[in-house]
Amino acid sequence: MIRDIQEEILRLKKENDVCILAHSYQAREIAEVADFVGDSYQLSVMAERAPQSTVIMCGVRFMAETVKILSPQKKVFLANPIAGCPMAEQMDKDLIGMWKQANPDYTVVAYINTTAELKTICDVCVTSSSAVKIVKNLDTDKIVFIPDCNLGAYVAEQVPEKEIKLLQGGCPIHAAVSVKDVEQAKAAHPDALLLVHPECVPAVAAKADYIGSTSGIMEFAKKSDAKQFIIGTEISIAEHLQYDCPDKEFYILSKKLICPNMKSTTLVDVLRVLRGQGGEEITMDEETRLAAKHCIDEMIRLG
């Protein structure tokens, strides 16, 4: 059954000149039909390079918006319209606009997990894999980092020479993991290395052997000589790693690490988009797109 749907997807995407992009939090059966699977930074680069005229994003809304911002000539679909990122909705243009007015000498660094509308008034975007490098490369010392105060705290620790203000926001999935979860996982798997995403709270990140983006975690685990790993990010990463590295063992840090938004996309959703029966086409007025593009271009220039 799954194989039949996958074969139909592969046939239709070739016939209709469609590129399927999947974030690494997507399920295995979706990753198998994708042209490219990666973290949010890699997806934005691949979207621009993809020669196809249509892109289907299997991920969350801000990722599909990023594709549209970079490739306005392409038709871009979000495979399941309910797939949003709650963190991206936490801060809006009005709130940050007021903050900027009160603090005009600060550069606004926005995690890519923000809406296109909010990006229009930010100075530069970052992803979890590029945040430290970009903040170091900025020719300013006064920064406000939005919306994730946990990723922001990690960046502030790595770049102590700059003043980095944090606003209260973050990923509800990663932030739910506690030090107690870490202690339980380490007690159950004492020989395993702990790899965590910087969206986890600082007290959890402080216990990690490695902190990095989804692709950073996967790369570290694949290259490492260690044989056991506790994975502190969405559970799909542990599943993909176990599939790719059958000689190693991967454990999830906590059962709380399931992103319902990332998991809302199914193979049938992808098939429905290809049949013209589902998904949501992303549209954006040109003024918003160009203003939002500025901070993504800065991300690519400085990253």
Site residues (vs ligand SF4, CB under 6 A)? 60, 85-87, 113, 171, 173-174, 199, 234, 259, 261-262
Q: Which does 26 bind (CB under 5 to 8 A by kind): ligand SF4, ligand 13P, none?
A: none
* Residue 198 DSSP code: T
Q: Report the nearest approach of ligand 13P to the CB of residue 135 (Å).
A: 15
Residue 44 interacting with ligand 13P (CB under 6 A): no
CA separation for the pair 38, 264 (Å, rounded): 18
Quote the strand ranges of the chain, DSSP E: 18-23, 36-38, 54-58, 75-78, 107-111, 124-126, 142-146, 163-166, 193-196, 210-211, 228-232, 249-252, 280-281
Residue 114 interacting with ligand 13P (CB under 6 A): no
Residue 128 interacting with ligand 13P (CB under 6 A): yes
Residue 150 interacting with ligand 13P (CB under 6 A): no
Q: Report the nearest approach of ligand 13P to the CB of residue 288 (Å).
A: 22
Helix, strand, coil tally for the chain in percent (to 5): 45, 15, 35
**C-beta of residue 50 within 8 angstroms of C-beta of residue 249:** no
For ligand 13P, which residue has the nearest CB? 39
CA separation for the pair 286, 68 (Å, rounded): 11
Q: Which does 261 bind (CB under 5 to 8 A by kind): ligand SF4, ligand 13P, none?
A: ligand SF4
Q: Which does 127 bind (CB under 5 to 8 A by kind): ligand SF4, ligand 13P, none?
A: ligand 13P
Residue 199 interacting with ligand 13P (CB under 6 A): yes
Residue choice 40, 44, 54, 261 for contact with ligand 13P (CB under 6 A): 40
Measure CA of the first residue to CA of the last residue in the chain; give whole Å: 42
